[in-house]
Amino acid sequence: MAAVQQLYRFSGLNGLARKISTNSQPILYSNWSSSCSWRVRIALAIKDIDYEIKPTSLLKTVSDNAYTEEYRKVNPLQKVPALKIDGHKLCDSVAIMHYLEETRPQPALLPQDPVKRAKVREIVELICSGIQPLQNSSVLELIGKEQSLKWAQHWIARGFQGLEQVLSQSAGRCCVGDDLTMADICLVPQVRNARR
Ligand SMILES: O=C(O)/C=C/C(=O)CC(=O)CC(=O)O
C-alpha cells in the first residue's frame, strides 16, 4: 500500500542520526521499540519539524532509562514518548499529535470534514485505547511469560477484526479516504507490534 510505504519513509527510524542543535529545538524522549514513540516521530516528520531525540531506554540496567527520578519529572508515568516543545512538556502520543496539529496545522493530520474527522478519531481510539494498551510490554510483564503471548494475540486479533470492518467502510488509499491522517500514523506502528 503506497500510504504505508510513505509512512515508513516518515517513520524517523533513523532518528538517532538527527543532529542535536539549538535549545529551542523540540526534544523528543523516545524509544525505538515503542509504538507510541513511533507515532510521534511520524507526526513530527510529516510536519517537517526538526527535533532533538533523547533515546530513552525501557531497561532499568541501561543509563538514560525511563525509570529514573530525573525522567519521572519529564513523564510522571515514566513512559515514552514525551515531547518538550514551545516551552511546554507534553506526554501521551495522541495528546502530542493533537498539539502539533493545532499549533502547526499544515500538512493536516485530520480531515476538514467533521464526519471524516470523527472516523479518524474512532480509528485512533480503537488502536490507542482498544489494542495498544492491552499488549504493551508493561502489561505483558505482569501477565507473565506463560500467558503473555496468548493474551497479546487475543487482544490484537480482536482489535484488528473490528478495525478491518471499520476500514472496509472508510478507507481509500489511507485509513480514511486518500489522505494521511492520525489514523494511519497509529495503524503502522500497531501493525509492527502485531508482527513481532
Ligand atoms: O504515549 C502513549 O500514547 C502511550 C505510551 C505507552 O503506552 C508506552 C509505550 O511506549 C508502549 C508502546 O508503545 O509500546
pLDDT digits (tens, 9 = 90+) for 44-99: 999 999 999 999 999 999 999 999 999 999 999 999 999 999 999 999 999 999 99
DSSP 8-state class, residue 177: B
With a 6 Å cutoff on the Cβ, whether 148 touches ligand 1 is: no
- The rounded Å distance from CA 3 to ligand 1 centre is 23
Q: Report the predicted TM-score, pTM, of the whole model to 2 decimal places.
A: 0.89
Determine phi and psi for 177, rounding to 5 degrees: 70, -150
Q: Is 161 left (phi over 0), alpha (psi -120 to 50) or beta?
A: alpha
pLDDT of residue 8: 53
**pLDDT > 50? residue 26:** yes
Q: Which residues contact 131 (CB under 8 A, 6 or more apart)?
A: 155, 156, 159, 160, 163, 190
Other beta carbons less than 10 A from residue 92's beta carbon: 18
Could you give the angle at the alpha carbon of 7 between the alpha carbons of 71 and 105, nearest 5°? 75
Q: Which helix (H) or strand (E) holds 101?
A: helix 93-103
**Whether residue 81 has its Cβ less than 6 Å from ligand 1:** yes
Query: Which tens digit of pLDDT belongs to each residue from 129-179?
Result: 999 999 999 999 999 999 999 999 999 999 999 999 999 999 999 999 999
* Dist. CA 190 → ligand 1 center (Å): 11
Question: Model ipTM?
Answer: 0.91
pLDDT class of 196 with cuts at 50, 70, 90: confident
